[in-house]
Structure 1
Amino acid sequence: MDSGNSRATTHSRARNRGGKTVEDAVDRYLTHKLESGGSRSSMEPPLRFFEAFCTSEGIERVDELESGDCREFGLRLADRKRNGEIAGSTANTYFAYVRAFLSFCVRDELINSNPADTESAEEFLPEDTSTRETQFWTAEQRKQLLAYADERVEQARREVIDTPLERAYRDRTAVVLLAELGVRGAELFRDKNDDDRNGLQWGDVDLERGRITVFGKSRDHEPVGLTEAAHNALSRLQRVQEPPIDEWPVFPTGHAASKYAAVEKATGERPEPGSDIDAICWEKEVAPPSITKEAGRQILKRLTNEAGIELEGDQEYLQPHGARRALGAELYESGHSELAQSALRHKSIETTHEAYSDIKAEDVAKSIDEVRE
């Protein structure tokens, strides 16, 4: 803990009789008071993430929070940024929302001072990099990655690589959906820190109507239309997997122990070691877990490396969010800002304009040149 900091929190146990839990305080804040110009839909995910962080650190009550805890939370956000889960700007926004929440707790007389409002607490927050520094897949990188994912399926079919055919189809489908639809990794894959994000399931896929339904950033279920390439990829994967139930994940894990655990939880009996666990899951209609967001990133890392894709600067691989940003940029640069808004499911056109302010600035400069010619 950051006990050496002179601004560290002084607990207010006298006023916070019994100690209000972090969960109760977050619920009260989201219900009665929102700050930082945020809406409930935008502020709830980061505050729930903070709530989960507190649980993982053994912090149950608000009056147990200290500046060092908020400093550790900033480090957790920095780790997520380093892993490509969120941008530096998002990490800073999350921390600002938590700071606003804790200021509310001060006014609610749950704590005496705000443990997030210290220089020490903010020390590990990542730099808020500008939009132009955010990775996005170039057209050539996208084509190269998709071509290699197709080639890998053929290699698995001919059994010239040590990858099951179903897994090759699974990985290709993940790449296609990211490249074609601008979906987020958290909308396709399981999030170990969010019980509501179990990964895309076949019950969420409607091939007849040409759409999938994802659990969006707003924490609402949102429809996403399928392009021809996305529709074809899902159709082929479905024929290979033959999912027996709607709850079957589109991107099932290949981790055998997780499948054994799923069967044991569903049936009360653990299969014998060495059993054909995939066949058991299918026969007993026990859905295996979806791959996690981390596993999704590992797939992209492996495919990026195996495909020999050239990257700029210190980039290690083509990140999931880079595909989303690339789609938006392509539409925005073509003059279809409203289409970009719809494709990315932004709540307002202002959000889209802000996300691609660098492109807008370049367009303004070009227009000035054209007027002066």
Structure 2
Amino acid sequence: MTNSDSGGSRRETPLEGATAEFIAERDGNYAQNLEYVLEKWTDWCADQDVRTLDDVTPLTMRHYASSLKRRSKTADGDGISASTARTYYNYVSALLTWAVEVEYLPENPAEKRKAKKPLPTARTNSGEQQFWQPEQRHAIINYVDERAREAIDERGTDAFEAIRNRTLITVLAYTGVRGSEVLADYRDERRNGLRWGDVDLENGVITVLGKSQNPNEEVGLTGQTIEPLQRLQTLLDSPANSWPVFPSRHPPSLYENIRAAGHDVPDGDPWEFMLENGIEPPSMSTSGARTVLKRLSSEAPIPDLDTENGEYLTLHGARRGVGEALFREHGAQRAQRTLRHADPKTTSQMYSHIEASELGEANTAVFDDESDSH
């Protein structure tokens, strides 16, 4: 590019080159997050025939904001959160701010009010967001435990689905892991579900692709999760470490894997056919897990859950419930470490309602003592 002070004409800067240059100046998890988001953004721009920095206008960014809003969560929990949508937008805005700094652009089109207007509004009241309350956690765990025992008594080795569900619910309820870290997310081909090769039961650790894009992020397993995982591992008896820990039994997905392995679709049970022939099953998806949670929430006696109006225990509610319990018992640092928040502010904001409540209680005692002294 020719500097505007030189009297020459400006040449347009390709988006891919600019993003590569911008990311190269950053490091650590922030750089990894930027790379992932900006790669998706440049692909989106290419679909809009936007290929250079000069092609990016406030209208371009308004359309991008609208696309993020369409991807944001619906009432049943599908999609990205409003805060995630805003984070993605801010990453792109950071690139364009940098482009202004290095004189690739005269101004940042992402910061125009009309560009940002379609972005979804993030909830700021941490107490309004769902978390699995202790009574709800105990109720759902007791329910899936009972269903697993009954299935074993009635069907023996054919009790797989009940045992898988018990294991999944237990891992979600006690580790604080994100659903997309242990289940397949078909919006991101790298998130194909937790594999047995990533499970270390001896040391009580699973290795996941974290939100930071670190593929080797370790999550500690609590004692409550070990036995269910051992039982599931024994029952599945997978021939390879590449098999998913939480397989799907969705028939169309099973048939697809059977055909991909070079077999004709069987007349009988596709699940049994896959096990008999050593065909790797697909991983349960986040969408499939939400379906399971909706069903279990309606079946189990879960307190303080308005199932008649469609309320159910959500994937992220499990994670927040873990953080809630740890925050109350051990403080922000333990919750932050367990939930693997890169920024302590994230943990503090998530559980600000607890801090406010505890401050209120403590301050009550102060003023009670004051009134007693008069």
Q: What TM-score do you get using the length of structure 2 for normalisation?
A: 0.80
CA deviations on 1:6-42 (whole Å, 9 max, x unpaired) are xxxxxxxx8337x544xx54433322359xxx92244
Distance 1:272 1:298, change over 3 A: closer
Distance 1:281 1:91, change over 3 A: same
Match of 2:199 in 1: 205
1:301 maps to amino acid = K
Cα deviation, residue 82, structure 1 = 6.2
Distance 1:352 1:208, change over 3 A: same
C-alpha distance in 2 between matches for 1:331 and 1:60: 46
Cα deviation, residue 283, structure 1 = 4.8
Cα deviation, residue 242, structure 1 = 1.0
Please tell me whether the aligned partners of residues 15 and 110 of structure 1 are also in contact (alpha carbons under 8 angstroms): no
Cα deviation, residue 78, structure 1 = 2.4
Match of 2:274 in 1: 281
C-alpha distance in 1 between matches for 2:273 and 2:50: 40
Alignment of 1:1-373 (within 5 A): 15-16=11-12, 19-21=14-16, 24-32=17-25, 39-51=30-42, 53-54=44-45, 57=47, 61-62=51-52, 66-79=60-73, 83=77, 85-105=79-99, 114=108, 116-130=110-124, 131-157=126-152, 165-220=159-214, 221-265=216-260, 267=261, 269-274=262-267, 276-309=269-302, 310-311=304-305, 316-372=311-367, 373=369
CA deviations on 1:164-190 (whole Å, 9 max, x unpaired) are 621121122111111010100011111
Please, which moves more after superposition, 134-143 or 57-66?
A: 57-66
Cα deviation, residue 211, structure 1 = 1.7
CA deviations on 1:202-237 (whole Å, 9 max, x unpaired) are 111111222211111111112222212111111111
C-alpha distance in 2 between matches for 1:112 and 1:284: 62
Note the residue ranges of structure 2 that are not aligned, 5 or more in a row: 1-9, 370-374
C-alpha distance in 2 between matches for 1:304 and 1:294: 15
Indicate the RMSD between aligned Cα atoms, in angstroms. Answer: 3.2
Please, which moves more after superposition, 355-364 or 135-144?
A: 355-364
Please tell me whether the aligned partners of residues 67 and 115 of structure 1 are also in contact (alpha carbons under 8 angstroms): yes
How many residues are treated as equivalent by the alignment? 349
SS at match of 2:206: strand
Distance 1:69 1:365, change over 3 A: same
C-alpha distance in 2 between matches for 1:179 and 1:223: 17
Distance 1:125 1:78, change over 3 A: farther
Distance 1:49 1:251, change over 3 A: farther
C-alpha distance in 1 between matches for 2:250 and 2:45: 29
CA deviations on 1:104-145 (whole Å, 9 max, x unpaired) are 456677777655444444343222212122111111111111
Cα deviation, residue 302, structure 1 = 1.5
1:296 maps to amino acid = A
Note the residue ranges of structure 1 that are not aligned, 5 or more in a row: 1-13
Please tell me whether the aligned partners of residues 92 and 125 of structure 1 are also in contact (alpha carbons under 8 angstroms): yes
Please, which moves more after superposition, 141-150 or 307-316?
A: 307-316
Distance 1:49 1:154, change over 3 A: farther
2:51 maps to amino acid = R
Distance 1:144 1:166, change over 3 A: same
Which structure's residues are more often helix, by fraction? Answer: 2
Q: What TM-score do you get using the length of structure 1 for normalisation?
A: 0.80
Cα deviation, residue 304, structure 1 = 1.0
Match of 1:3 in 2: none
Distance 1:16 1:282, change over 3 A: farther
Please tell me whether the aligned partners of residues 72 and 81 of structure 2 are also in contact (alpha carbons under 8 angstroms): no
Indicate the percent of aligned positions where both proteins have the same amino acid: 36
Please, which moves more after superposition, 238-247 or 151-160?
A: 151-160
Please tell me whether the aligned partners of residues 81 and 87 of structure 1 are also in contact (alpha carbons under 8 angstroms): no
CA deviations on 1:243-297 (whole Å, 9 max, x unpaired) are 11001001112123323333443x4x24234255434533554322211111121
Please tell me whether the aligned partners of residues 324 and 351 of structure 2 are also in contact (alpha carbons under 8 angstroms): yes
SS at match of 2:116: coil
